[in-house]
Amino acid sequence: MKLFCLFSIIVIIASCSSTNVFVDTRDGQRYKYVVIENRYWMTENMRYNIEGSKWNPANPDTLFGRLYNWEQAVKACPDGWVLTSSPDWMALESSVTVDSLRDDLFKKGQFRGNNAQALKSKNYWGTPGTDSLGINFLPAGRARKDDYFYGLGELAFFWTATPYVWGGIVKPLAIYRYLENDSVGVHSDKHWKKNNFYSCRCVQYYEDKAKKVSEKDKQYFVDERDGQKYGYVKVKDFYWMTENMRYNVDYSDLNPANPDSLYGRLYACDQALEACPKGWSLANGLAWFNLESSTIDLYRMEIIFSDQFRGKNEKVLKSKKGWETPGTDEFALNFLPAGKSSLDDGFSMLGKGAFLWEYNALEVEFSARHIINDSSGVYMRKKVGVEEDVLMSCRCVKYAPDKRKKTK
């Protein structure tokens, strides 16, 4: 718990002992917290009275907290804490999911995990939970804009800080999680930001940046399809391959000027889905978000609301060779400037830029991440059409957070 005491400049801590109590200086409310998956999770719903938030008159316990619309929820957490994001929830859900399902969890749509009982409180539910992580999710229900309350004792709804994006456009909806009385998993969905009122949970991170990774931390994987060997490292919640894919999918291409086999092949978007071996997936928005927010000098809440420009220190991701302006490669990810290819321009940007596919299964759309030689950050292109004739690199990932015990 010594690390948490370092946050005392911006957060008042009632105790750094096993009590784990935080005091919100805005109103004097006290909140307990536990350690789960590299995060401090509050174990109580927020009660801070933002104008327009709602209090269920039938609420049997103050710990059920207030209900907020999304715009209120992103403001409800005290300084030093942030509203939980989808990646935070994924790490939590993975903690209570059997290993056979964890690899696929991060690309699922609605149903997430298979042991919601471990997250539910031991009181107030019709079917009580075991609360094995001490997270104490209570069935506070929800409310509508017209003050209609329902689901108390049966449902728990929680806003995430993650807005809903469709077709590259941020919609007036946001992602939320909910648990039902008799369901065995956690569900994810989207709803209107202004008209729905849910509970709010806050988290704090040990540190914004991931720990540095060196070559000695690298592990290796052999692709059974062609015998190719790939290195991989763990950066926060994901295993990342440290090399671009080289698997020869039909009609993928190899730049004849490619100076190193590790630069890999270039793939069209539909080919990119076939590039990763079994057990690995093409890096999606959650994986990129996790990487950017872990390695780039930004708080997660700032990056959640970013548009195209994401971060201001891309050199920590760039390889130490190949670039006109070399990177420091502080996480052994070895992002190489493999360039891209298109029907109109042929091969281009070799040595000057890294262009990598991203695929989001829920939205069924492709995006891209760009790192350019002299840029000061990572850029996101929100949508790349299937009809576009552009070939780019592929990186594959596995979701694999640490399974940390709660703080006692």
83 in Cβ contact with 70 (< 8 Å): no
Q: Which position has the token pair 């760009």?
A: 370
**H or E stretch covering 178:** strand 169-180
The C-alpha atoms of residue 320 and residue 329 are separated, in whole angstroms, by 6
Query: How would you class 154 by CB atoms within 10 Å of its CB: exposed for 0-12, middle for 13-18, buried for 19 or more?
Result: middle
Q: How many residues does the chain have?
A: 408
Which has more confidence, 348 or 374? Answer: 348
Mean confidence (pLDDT) of the chain: 82
54 in Cβ contact with 35 (< 8 Å): no
How far does CA 44 lie from the centroid of its chain?
22
pLDDT for 192 beyond 80: yes
For 244, the 3-state DSSP assignment is coil
Per-residue exposure over 81-97, b if at least 16 CB sit within 10 Å of its own CB, e if not? bbbbbbbbbbbbbbbbb
Looking at residue 405, what DSSP letter applies? Answer: P
Rg (CA), the chain: 22
Which is nearest to 356 in space by CA: 265, 261, 239, 259?
Answer: 265
Among the residue ranges 73-77, 115-119, 306-310, 353-357, the one predicted with the least confidence is 306-310
318 in Cβ contact with 326 (< 8 Å): yes
Tell me what the mean pLDDT of segment 302-330 comes to. 77
Answering whether pTM is above 0.75, one says no
137 pLDDT tier (thresholds 50, 70, 90) = very high
pLDDT for 235 beyond 60: yes
What does the DSSP assignment read for 69-136?
-HHHHHHHSPTT-EE--HHHHHHHHHHTS-HHHHHHHTT-SSEE-S-GGGTB-SSSSSS----TTS--
Specify whether the backbone of 351 is left (phi greater than 0), alpha (psi in -120 to 50) or beta.
left
pLDDT in tens, 360-394: 755 556 788 888 887 767 887 766 765 568 999 99
What does the DSSP assignment read for 179-219?
EETT-SSEEEEEEETTTEEBB--EEEES-SSPPP--GGG-E
Among the residue ranges 68-72, 79-83, 294-298, the one predicted with the least confidence is 294-298
Among the residue ranges 238-247, 286-295, 301-310, 322-331, the one predicted with the least confidence is 301-310
Tell me what the mean pLDDT of segment 293-316 comes to. 63
236 pLDDT tier (thresholds 50, 70, 90) = confident
What local confidence, expressed as pLDDT, does residue 248 receive? 96
pLDDT in tens, 76-94: 999 889 899 887 888 888 8
The C-alpha atoms of residue 62 and residue 20 are separated, in whole angstroms, by 19
